[in-house]
Amino acid sequence: MTMYFIALVLPSALNEKVLHWKNFMHQRYDCNVGLKSPAHITLIPPFWMEENREAELFHDVGQLTKNSLPFIVRTKNFSAFKPRTIFIDVEKNIVLNSLKENVDDFFKPNNYCKIKVDSRPFHPHITIATRDLFKKIFYEAWPVFEKEIFEEEWIVDGLSVLRHNKKNWDVVYTSQFVIGSKA
């Protein structure tokens, strides 16, 4: 069994800006978890699946994107799930929320992978530090982040599948949104 998740992966130039803050947490506080994946917004959290079912997953993600339009996502500074996660906040976005609902609805009845749709309200964000961010470190680091400005925007034009390679997460498939894209 292999771990996968489904996400919106940020463009490389924006990933570099996010990487600056992940490296800050790594160098100053030895927080490494944020460095294990490219900057992204999670739509389906990690789940286990047989690797021989990967083509089926890629096909299904392709089905989801064939009727989707590219859309703009904007960030609005830093926020936190206190005291365990520091992240870049994403502005409320009706299209993003609708995409999340469509992805959840599509994968709820799925029988080839064990996807559990999150019951918590969707709060899109880009994680900087999480599971290895302990309370003491959080309270030392948070004053730096709460006053920083991080306002960016990008066009979301595809949905990605990431696979865990036993150390990090790799983007193994991206399906571009078809409607509105150049053929």
- Whether the model clears a pTM of 0.95, i.e. scores above it, the answer is no
pLDDT at 42 over 80: yes
pLDDT band (50, 70, 90) for residue 179: low
pLDDT digits (tens, 9 = 90+) for 56-81: 999 999 999 998 899 999 999 999 99
- Cβ-based neighbour number of residue 69 at 10 Å: 13
User: What's the CATH architecture for 2-176?
Assistant: Alpha-Beta Complex (3.90)
Cα 80 to Cα 34, 91, 148, distances in angstroms: 14, 14, 13
pLDDT digits (tens, 9 = 90+) for 68-119: 899 999 999 999 999 999 999 999 999 999 999 999 988 887 766 778 777 7
